[in-house]
A and B are shown apart, each in its own frame.
Chain A
């Protein structure tokens, strides 16, 4: 069952330097109970995409120009950004975890006060039940001595523990969709493994869907079932992790996999960098944004607009070239 469908989403920033098409016609979906990974380099529009679905874009300069976000049979973009519908969806049916927990935890409220706020907003519960529920949540996310720690303030927790508090808060109202935007970039790798495994288990237990936004292809390979690869505001390739890691088809995906060191590689492996730089998104030309860096480019890429996604085998690929048939 499809839980969320995003169709042709466009979010632009109207800046003094020009038009930034941060999200430019993005479509994706996520099924119930599914874990999906969204990968791409810094600035490609991953966060703006997720913030747009929840209408959390600051306007001006940001503007959702077009698109649909279908959730539970309703288009969320029909609702006013600050209306009661969106407020009840955010943190209720759809919860979000950010990279830096301090930006979304309130430093002046204790952990219990914050969870209690969420519970009062979304579920009807008296204080005592709220307290029980909060302790249960903190215990579940692996915070030792939750009964005592529940009245502590965010700064009294270590980085990894704060992320756990964030996860507990996100799960407090039984969301159907959890969006984790670079949830573990700021923590160490052994803590990252703990947190991602925790999320994976919770998602399985409650049949929640999970979108993991990351620049780490390994994280996607380990945890997600399907993957969307973004470049310069668009999705350039999507498919199941089995297919894409086995045979990436878009030149950018191929390039990404060739340029990262992997722990199990042979000695003397030479990395193949992607030449050039990721584009800055101001006043982009209409052609494929990967063109200046693409080793597969043909004349057609220079002459025609950025290609749309089309099916190639089991994957969706936005490219004029059949990379499988091209010898590099």
Chain B
């Protein structure tokens, strides 16, 4: 596996739940609980699952925006889960983050050009102002924005254009991998496809660029990803190639999730079987014992409430965490 760019091993991120003035710890949210996967150079790995399953937390741990409770994160051959803040900043340059609305956390008075140029300056990647200007203009063109718009401020752009600026900023420091956290969820349907195509084109253009693509929309995740990991309450329940995920889903949760996603095709829809799950996703504060899915699982048996199923390779890298699937 020499083309492995990132390897995550047994990652755990537990958040304390505190109460009172002394912030006494009364419980723990196991937001990410023993998650392992890898991302190859040039590959897109999708993370999908319903709200609160731990997608964002996984992404933020990889970027070391959180200090993981346990586990290893090996990026470009280097274990980074224990690095100091100063060292981690250099790593982050190699794997930036884009999220729902790149302006949500930025100064509304900052111009688009300086948003994109900021990381270039920070990491001193250009020699002078002129080089910086040129570099920013070329990034603008790369993401399909008119370089004449560098002086505009956030609210003068549409949502889709704002996301393009976020992508330009992410590309600024020649990253090896971009973590995309719900990058298109806030956009109109017709604009979503523009951004998806842009991400695909950039990956072709910069050979070897990898993505971790996080979203709750399974159709979108499957479209853009080479492989997809399905998460449920902090754990990966299934991880396989995009094609197999639809053709041959093996975990009962994946099967239900797939059947719940409607396909915009009347003839196809008429043929489809729906699996309707019982109840809702339980609270992450008190997840069910054993396999977290067992209270809602159509094929569960008594052992399922006792055994935590490991994520096993059932052949050709198709990994499933279910004791009924071997």
Contact = CB atoms under 8 A, between A and B. Distances in A.
Interface of A: 41-42, 144, 158, 160-161, 188-194, 197, 215-223, 241-242, 245-246, 255-257, 259-265, 267, 269-275, 277-278
Contact of B264 (A161, A188, A260, A271): A260
B193 interface: yes
Given A189-B218, A245-B264, A263-B246, A221 B277 contact: no
Given A41-B188, A189-B260, A194-B276, 10 more contacts: A41-B190, A188-B216, A189-B261, A219-B262, A221-B262, A242-B266, A261-B224, A262-B219, A262-B265, A264-B246
Contacts of B314: none
Query: Which interface residue of B160, B189, B219, B268 has the most chain A CB atoms within 10 A?
Result: B189
Contacts of B197: 270-271, 273
Contacts of A263: 218-219, 222, 246, 258, 261, 263
Contacts of A144: 279
B264 A218 contact: yes
Contacts of B268: 221, 264
B267 A278 contact: no
Contacts of A194: 276-277
Contacts of A267: 242-243
B223 A271 contact: yes
B218 A42 contact: no
Given A215-B189, A274-B190, A262 B280 contact: no
B260 to A, nearest CB: 4
A264 B264 CA distance: 10
Contacts of B216: 188-189
A189 B192 CA distance: 19
B158 interface: yes
Contacts of A215: 188-189
Contact of A193 (B224, B259, B279, B281): B259
Interface in B290-319: none
Query: Which interface residue of A189, A262, A267 has the most chain B CB atoms within 10 A?
Result: A189
Given A189-B50, A193-B276, A277 B160 contact: yes
Interface of B: 50-51, 158, 160, 188-194, 196-197, 200, 216, 218-220, 222-224, 242-243, 246, 256-269, 274, 276-277, 279-281
A189 B262 CA distance: 9
B269 A222 contact: yes
A188 B50 contact: yes
Query: Which interface residue of B158, B216, B263, B267 has the most chain A CB atoms within 10 A?
Result: B263
B265 A190 contact: no
B196 A271 contact: yes
B250 to A, nearest CB: 16
B215 to A, nearest CB: 11
18 contacts: A144-B279, A188-B281, A189-B216, A189-B257, A190-B257, A221-B269, A222-B262, A222-B269, A256-B189, A261-B220, A262-B263, A263-B222, A263-B258, A263-B261, A264-B265, A265-B223, A271-B197, A271-B223
A19 B261 CA distance: 39
A161 B283 CA distance: 14
B267 A272 contact: no
A249 B115 CA distance: 42
Q: Identify the 4 closest CB pairs spanning chains A and B, nearest first.
A: A218-B262, A261-B223, A217-B264, A193-B260
Contacts of A245: 264-267
A259 B261 contact: no
B266 A246 contact: yes
B189 A246 contact: no
Contacts of A260: 189, 192-193, 219, 264
A269 B188 CA distance: 20
Nearest to A272: B193
A263 B274 CA distance: 14
Given A188-B216, A190-B50, A267-B243, A218 B280 contact: no
B228 to A, nearest CB: 11
Contact of A41 (B189, B262, B280): B189
A90 B2 CA distance: 65
Nearest to B186: A42
A42 B188 contact: yes
B290 to A, nearest CB: 20
A265 B218 CA distance: 12
B243 A277 contact: no
Given A189-B257, A261-B196, A267-B243, A221 B264 contact: yes
Nearest to A42: B188
Contacts of A219: 262
